Amino acid sequence: MTTTEQLHAVSAPNVTADPILRLASGFMAAKHLFAASELGLFEALADAPATLDALTARTGLTRRAARISADAMVALGILERDGDLYRNGPAADRFLAGKSHSDLRPLLRFWDEISYPIWVDFAESLARGPVHEVFELDEEKQAIASAGIEAVLAGPANALGQVVDFSSCQRLLDVGGGTGSWSIATARHHPHLRGTIVELPAVAVLAEQRIAGVGLADRLTVVAADAMADDLPRGHDTVLVANLVHYGSPESNAKLLGRIRAAVQPGAKLLLADFWTDPTHTEPVQAALMAGEFAAHLREGDVYSVEEVRDWLPAAGWCFLDHLPLAGPQSLIRAEAV
């Protein structure tokens, strides 16, 4: 042992490589989870626990494959095992078994089929930017991405109508509204509310289908347009911008806020929902990790702190009101048009 190694051993006698190995093997845990979901492991346990033989019969897997997948999920705390019986753990039962509206299987499919292959070249994306951006996906992949994004944001979207008092709001403008999930959830909480969703043409089609499917076509309208470049619809007293700011640079976001301000009257409210961070960009942890997801998919993608947004608002004609929690790592910045 060299002198340097001896000094290190004395100064940090209990330090191990465990944190590094745990992180480095994270891709194995993720792929185990993706595979278990794709192969129907959680749905197979939705109605009743199963022995390995029963699980094999329900999934159509070989006994070896079923055991490898199920035991990995037990080790990771997603399944539970009591003797020879496997059952879904609480999280799997709620989010992966297909029994509730809180279904994260579309998210796992999105991350497995679209995000994971891009993360394989993550260092290249950080160094030189992504080869392709998420809105350059073909129609099939776009549908997968939209469903996955909607699934992961269902919690914050449903929380919005409870966190914010919409009683004085009559018309909501949802800028970059995706499949319409935020407007749909808010409209369900507030039956008097009517809204307009602005989204790129490929996603606007999905939003129209989604809105029609839930019976809200008489209250929610979709406009196919580029929210970053085209004129925004007018006549709205509240503007929602959910998970659009992380697509752009500080400069493009400041410009967007100014364009939104030009489309509303003084006193209009602005609701900015996203993975807002603390000043160090390290909390919430999920937000810090999502910065990589955005960088891998978007040439200007990033996460921003509440303080950064506060700096953008005055020049764009907005007055900061407050910062409120939504659900998970998502939170809400509220502002008012001056």
Asked which of 47, 70, 95 is the last residue of a domain, the reply is 95
Q: How far apart are CA 163 and CA 156, in angstroms?
A: 10
Q: What is the pLDDT of residue 133?
A: 84
307 lies in the same domain as 162: yes
pLDDT for 5 equals 57
Q: Is the pLDDT of residue 39 over 80?
A: yes
Cβ atoms 224, 176 nearer than 8 A? no
What digits encode the pLDDT tens for the residues 98-113?
A: 988 889 999 999 999 9
The verdict on residue 104 lying in a domain is no
* Residues contacting residue 206 through CB under 8 Å, at least 6 positions apart: 142, 143, 146, 179
171 and 88 share one domain: no
Express as a percent the part of the chain with pLDDT over 70.
96
pLDDT at 162: 93
Q: What mean pLDDT comes out for the span 184-198?
A: 96
253 with 312, same domain? yes
Looking at the structure, do residues 241 and 302 belong to the same domain, yes or no? yes
- Examine the domain organization and report whether 23 and 165 are in the same domain: no
Print the domain residue range for 287.
134-337
Helices 63-75 and 26-38: crossing angle in degrees, nearest 10, is: 130
| Same-domain status, 214 and 289 | yes
Q: What is the mean pLDDT of residues 258-274?
A: 97
Interstrand relation of 194-199 and 220-224 (parallel, antiparallel or unpaired): parallel
CA–CA distance, 307 with 312 (Å, rounded to integer): 9
pLDDT tops 90 at residue 12: no
Cβ atoms within 10 Å of 85's Cβ, excluding its own: 15
CATH code of the domain covering residue 332:
3.40.50.150
Last residue of a domain, one of 95, 117, 150: 95
CATH number reported for the structural domain that contains residue 45 in this entry: 1.10.10.10
278 neighbors 337 (Cβ within 8 angstroms): no
Same domain, 150 and 254: yes
User: Dihedral of CA 281/282/283/289: which sign?
Assistant: positive
Is residue 106 in some structural domain?
no
Residue 47: the pLDDT is 95
pLDDT band at 11 (very low <50, low <70, confident <90, very high): low
Average pLDDT of the segment spanning 133-158: 91
- Give the DSSP H/E element, type plus range, for residue 280: none
Whether 324 has a pLDDT exceeding 70, the answer reads: yes
For residue 117, is it within any domain?
no
CA distance 153 to 156: 6
Say whether both 324 and 214 belong to one domain. Answer: yes
Contact 277, 290 (CB under 8 A): no
Query: What is the mean predicted confidence (pLDDT) over 166-179?
Result: 95
Q: Quick check: 152 pLDDT over 90?
A: yes
Helices 181-189 and 154-163: crossing angle in degrees, nearest 10, is: 40
Cα separations in angstroms, 2 against 6, 16, 284 = 6, 18, 40
Decide if 264 is inside a domain.
yes
CB contact burial 265-278 (16+ within 10 A = b; e otherwise)? eeebbbbbbbbbbe
pLDDT above 60: residue 9: no
Question: Do the domain assignments include residue 171?
Answer: yes
Stretch 118-123: mean pLDDT: 92
Residues 157 and 281 in one domain: yes
Residue 184 maps to a domain? yes
* The predicted structure's pLDDT at residue 3: 61
Q: Tell whether the model's pLDDT for residue 91 goes beyond 90.
A: yes
Number of domains in the chain: 2
pLDDT at site 53: 97
d(CA 150, CA 110): 11
pLDDT at residue 136, rounded to an integer: 85
| pLDDT above 70: residue 10 | no
pLDDT in tens, 40-72: 999 999 999 999 999 999 999 999 999 999 999
Express as a percent the part of the chain with pLDDT over 90: 89
Residue partners of 150: CB distance under 8 A and separation at least 6:
106, 157, 178, 179, 181
Task: Please check whether residues 11 and 143 belong to one and the same domain.
Answer: no
Do 276 and 158 have their domain in common?
A: yes
| Average pLDDT estimate for 172-183 | 96
Residue ending a domain, among 46, 65, 95, is 95
Domain-embedded: residue 118: no
Average pLDDT over residues 119-147: 89
**pLDDT per position as a tens digit, 202-220:** 899 999 999 999 999 999 9
Give the global pTM: 0.90
The answer to whether residue 128 sits within a structural domain is: no
**Inter-CA distances, 305 with 23, 153, 241, 277, Å:** 25, 19, 16, 4
For residues 258 and 145, state if they share a domain: yes
What's the mean pLDDT in 84-106?
Answer: 94
